[in-house]
């Protein structure tokens, strides 16, 4: 049985562009049939205490909330799973993507290219050389033709694909998700599953 994760979303707590009240996030995720979520604010990673407090206050004890962050490089955004909280501040926004990915690798983190074919926010040819665990090929921020192009790009690069909501509005949480082959109990499991390629996009 697949383990369904929406691994890309933002809340008003740390992302000014989001309209999602974090206190409503878990209720919506449960309603959407997700097994877990990952909060990926721009350049900020929720601490374990914060995610635990969110779960405790949600009325859904035991629901799995993980934290990662979205890095904005000079050429494309990269989702980083598994960087220690205290190291996130070392990732200065706007570096070349290869520099940010290299630092992430030092922590054994899994890097995923966010909306790689999004108009005005896409990567260039360097994406072929980046140490990416996967490409995001579907989200509410990718138009249908951009999703098709992202799938082609992933096929050409022989990279696994994920689908994520990239929700900035509550109803979009769970609109897209990724199905993992293994049970995920925390960010270390997710990181390992991503690096191991044991997943496929769901809800396309
Ligand atoms: Zn945003
Ligand atoms: Zn995002």
Helix (H, G, I), strand (E, B) or coil at 10: coil
pLDDT of the residue at 203: 74
Residues of the chain with pLDDT under 50: none
**Ligand 1 centre distance from Cα of residue 19 (Å):** 10
pLDDT of the residue at 49: 97
Measured CA to CA, the distance from residue 17 to residue 57 in angstroms comes to 24
Closest ligand to residue 6's CA: 2
Measured CA to CA, the distance from residue 148 to residue 5 in angstroms comes to 22
pLDDT of the residue at 126: 87
Closest ligand to residue 140's CA: 2
**Ligand 2 centre distance from Cα of residue 77 (Å):** 8
Closest ligand to residue 142's CA: 2
Q: Which domain holds residue 63?
A: 3-202
> What CATH number is attached to the domain comprising 127?
3.20.20.140
Q: Count structural domains, the chain.
A: 1
**Ligand 2 centre distance from Cα of residue 140 (Å):** 10
Measured CA to CA, the distance from residue 173 to residue 176 in angstroms comes to 8
> Strands, E, within the chain: which ranges?
3-6, 36-42, 64-73, 76-81, 110-114, 134-138, 161-163, 177-180, 199-202
pLDDT of the residue at 73: 96
**Ligand 2 centre distance from Cα of residue 79 (Å):** 8
* 42-to-28, 47, 95, 106, 175 alpha-carbon distances in Å: 21, 14, 14, 20, 20
pLDDT of the residue at 204: 56
pLDDT 10s digits, 105-131:
999 999 999 999 998 878 888 899 999
Closest ligand to residue 115's CA: 2
pLDDT of the residue at 86: 97
Measured CA to CA, the distance from residue 50 to residue 65 in angstroms comes to 10
Asked whether the whole model's pTM tops 0.95, one would answer yes
């Amino acid at each position: 049985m697949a383990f369904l994760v929406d691994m890309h979303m933002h809340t008003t707590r740390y992302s000014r562009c989001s309209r999602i009240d974090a206190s409503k996030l878990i209720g919506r995720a449960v309603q959407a049939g997700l097994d877990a979520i990952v909060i990926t604010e721009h350049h900020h990673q929720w601490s374990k205490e914060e995610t635990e407090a969110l779960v405790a206050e949600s009325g859904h004890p035991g629901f799995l909330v993980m934290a990662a962050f979205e890095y904005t490089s000079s050429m494309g955004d990269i989702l980083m799973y598994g960087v220690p909280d205290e190291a996130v501040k070392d990732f200065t926004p706007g570096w070349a993507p290869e520099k940010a990915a290299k630092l992430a690798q030092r922590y054994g983190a899994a890097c995923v290219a966010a909306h790689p074919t999004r108009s005005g926010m896409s990567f260039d040819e360097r994406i072929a050389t980046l140490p990416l665990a996967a490409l995001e090929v579907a989200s509410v921020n990718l138009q249908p033709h951009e999703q098709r192009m992202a799938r082609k790009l992933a096929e050409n690069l022989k990279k696994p694909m994920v689908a994520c909501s990239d929700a900035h509005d509550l109803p979009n949480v769970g609109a897209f998700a990724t199905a993992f082959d293994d049970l995920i109990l925390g960010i270390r499991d997710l990181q390992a599953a991503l690096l191991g390629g044991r997943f496929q996009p769901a809800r396309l």
